[in-house]
Structure formats: structure tokens, C-alpha cells
Amino acid sequence: MTNPYKQSYKQNLIDNVSLAIFNCGLQSCTPEHSWGPGIRDHFLIHLVVSGKGRYICGGKTYNLKAGDMFLIKPSQVVNYIADEADPWEYYWVGFNGTYAQKAVSSLPFKDSAPVYAPKDYDTCKEYLYQIYANSGNTMSHSTAMIGYLYLFLAKLIEESSMISPAPSVTQSSYVIEAIKYIQFNYSTDISVDDIANAVGISRSHLYRVFVANLDQSPIDYLTEYRINEACNLIKNTNLSISQIAVSVGFFDQFYFSRVFKKIKKIPPSKYLQSIETQGEI
């Protein structure tokens, strides 16, 4: 195995833009090095470049080797462990933003299969390396990083479209319009009926296209979107919990706290402290 190392970069301030790098890095792990069980509040993709390891997600264990990728979604309880005899080396990128959910829904990962071996391994590896190689806090750095992330995601979306036909344009357009409506109106007291009416389809049809395209219901998407926006406010503002609740469309602070804890597994009052003290990747 290669000598153990870890090189990583984490953005200190992340704007609520369509797609943003949360963290990135390269690591050669020691035998049985592990992370978790735990959850993330962003999307995270690892590419194994050498060695072996195990990824545990949804109660299933996946044995991975060089050339394999695994995806972690926000709020999933996961665990990953380097092999005892041949510990893995991997590259990773964590990202979020309003476009992240839509992009991930088009990748060749499914809830029932969160691992994937890219056909164009060399290109995917190079894009991930360049994301880290261009890390920094200047505008040129952040632009280059996000550019390589778009290229990386585009490559995987291209491969995904080769595996299975894309959803019908009509279905995709309904989901896109619904997401846009949510993004502009999540802070108000909107319901699933409001979203369906804005898109121009029935509530039941909206449910079907959301499940088909995003593997979740409209109300689950709306709720998770609101909670993720709340996380951004907790990290980047000095608003009180009650002010944050109202800002993301919850008009009952106690209900907001219950929903937040259900999704993030921690009360909103302790969220900032939790992410500041979280373990290494």
C-alpha cells in the first residue's frame, strides 16, 4: 500500500448558490481507518483509487475496490472502513446548493445501489484531483473548483444516460418547475397542493413524478429543503432559532425543532457545535 496520508480542503464560507464545494481531498488510509456511523449535511462522493474497503449504508454492506465510487446523501447514517490488509486510497468531493439535489438525481446512483464503477475512470479521477488541486479562497480558485465539479457531474450524468433512458421531458419539466417553485416560496406557508397547482398537475401526479425522478415525495423534498436552508442560516447568521424557523417556513418553533431533529438527528440549538467538532473524513 502507499504510505498513509491525507490532504483536504474545506470551504469556510459557502454561499447559498446553485452548486458549491463543501470540502474535497485525497487520502491514503491506515488499515481499518473508519468514519461513522454518522450523517452528513451535504452530498459526498468518494472514488477509490487503490486498495479496498467497506461502505455501509441503509443496513447493507458494499465491498469496494479501486475504480468504485460511493455516494453519501444528507441525513443518511453511513459508515466506511478501510480494509485491514489492503486499505484504500480515495479522492472525494462534498458539495451542496440548490442544484445539488437535481444533479444527484441524474447520477448513476440509486438508494438501492449507492455505489458505481465509472466507465471513464481516468477522467473522473482527474476531475476530482483538479477540484482539490485548485482549492483556495480566491475567486479564481473557487471558479476553477466549481468548474471541475460541473465537469465531474456532467461525466457521470452522461454515463447514467447511457445506462437507462432519461425520464420523459414532461416528467422532468414538472419536477424542475416544482423545485423552482419551492426555491422561491419555501419561506412562506406553502403546501403540496400549492406546488401542484403552480406546476399545473394534480397532487397525485406530482407525487408520482417526484418519486420517479427523485426517489422521495414532494412533502419530504420541501421539508428537507427547508431544514437545509435552516442549517445554512445557523452556520452563517446570528438569528435566533425562532427567527430561523420563521425564515424557512415553519411558524411553530417547537414543531420546527422536532422536524429538524428528526432529519439531522440533533436539535437545531446544538447543530453548529456539532459540525464544528465533527470527526475527520
Q: Mind listing the pLDDT tens digit for each residue in 27-73?
A: 999 999 999 899 888 899 999 999 999 999 988 999 999 999 999 99
CA angle 146, 102, 73 (to 5 degrees): 80
Residues of the chain with CATH 2.60.120.280: 5-163
Report the CATH architecture of 5-163. Sandwich (2.60)
- Measured in whole angstroms, how far is the alpha carbon of residue 21 from the centre of its chain? 10
Alpha carbon distance 74, 210 (integer Å): 18
**What pLDDT band is residue 16 in, cutting at 50, 70 and 90?**
very low
Residue pair 201/171 in contact by the 8 Å Cβ criterion: no
Q: What is the pLDDT of residues 206-246, one digit of tens each?
A: 999 999 888 899 999 999 999 999 998 998 889 999 999 99
CATH superfamily entry for domain 169-276: Homeodomain-like (1.10.10.60)
Residue pair 188/246 in contact by the 8 Å Cβ criterion: no
Residues of the chain with CATH 1.10.10.60: 169-276
Residue pair 123/156 in contact by the 8 Å Cβ criterion: no
pLDDT at 140 over 60: yes
| The predicted structure's pLDDT at residue 170 | 62
- Cell digits for 106? 441524474
| The predicted structure's pLDDT at residue 245 | 94
Residue pair 83/89 in contact by the 8 Å Cβ criterion: no
Residue pair 183/176 in contact by the 8 Å Cβ criterion: no
Greater confidence (277 vs 160) lies with 160
Which strands, in side-by-side order, build the sheet including 115-116?
5-10, 20-28, 89-96, 43-50, 69-72, 115-116
Residue pair 229/248 in contact by the 8 Å Cβ criterion: yes
| The predicted structure's pLDDT at residue 253 | 93
Which strands, in side-by-side order, build the sheet including 78-82?
34-38, 78-82, 52-57, 60-65
* Residues whose CB is less than 8 angstroms from the CB of residue 139 and which lie 6 or more positions away in sequence, other chains included: none
- Cell digits for 64? 469496494
The partner residues of 276 in beta bridges, in order of sequence, read none
pLDDT at 263 over 80: yes
